[in-house]
Amino acid sequence: MEPYLQPSKTHRTIGWILSGLVILFLLFDGIGKLVQPDEVIKATVELGYPESVLTGLGVVLLISTLLYAFPKTSLTGAVLLTAYLGGAVATHVRLEQPWFSHTLFPVYVGIVLWAGLLLRRPALKNQFF
């Protein structure tokens, strides 16, 4: 790897902090979908989904998050998580929920997810920008 593509220690640290926050949040969400406490079931049904989809959503979210967490598969995980978050945006749009607090929240998570990845792997910038 060329020297200018190596992340500085500061960039790498900030990237891992941002990525770590996203990873913790999504792991918490995914585990909640597998454990299925009453609050998660209620929220899922209020969003228009049957309780039966929780396990599948949890598995997809956990696998995608774990792929994002490991450096060799982080790009694949980021793409899969972006798709998952896009589905969340579509759900909130369909329900005509408030934009800044509900509908765009998955977008905020996606921005932090990609910022973290690009800070810890600057070589990816050349592939996208």
**pLDDT of residue 4 exceeding 90:** no
Model confidence over 6-35: pLDDT tens digits? 778 999 999 999 999 999 999 999 999 999
Structural domain of residue 45, as residue ranges? 7-120
pTM: 0.91
Question: Is 17 within the bounds of a domain?
Answer: yes
Output DSSP code: residue 6: S
Q: What are phi and psi of 96, to 5 degrees?
A: 55, 45
Question: Is 127 within the bounds of a domain?
Answer: no
Question: Is 128 within the bounds of a domain?
Answer: no
For 62, residues 6+ apart whose C-beta sits below 8 A from its C-beta are 27, 30, 31, 34
Number of domains within the chain: 1
Model confidence over 74-123: pLDDT tens digits? 999 999 999 999 999 999 999 999 999 999 999 999 999 999 999 998 88
What are the tokens at 37? 């406490």
Output DSSP code: residue 95: T
Residues 26-54, mean pLDDT to the nearest whole number: 97
Q: What is the pLDDT of residue 123?
A: 83
Q: Nearest-5° angle of CA 35, CA 40, CA 41?
A: 95
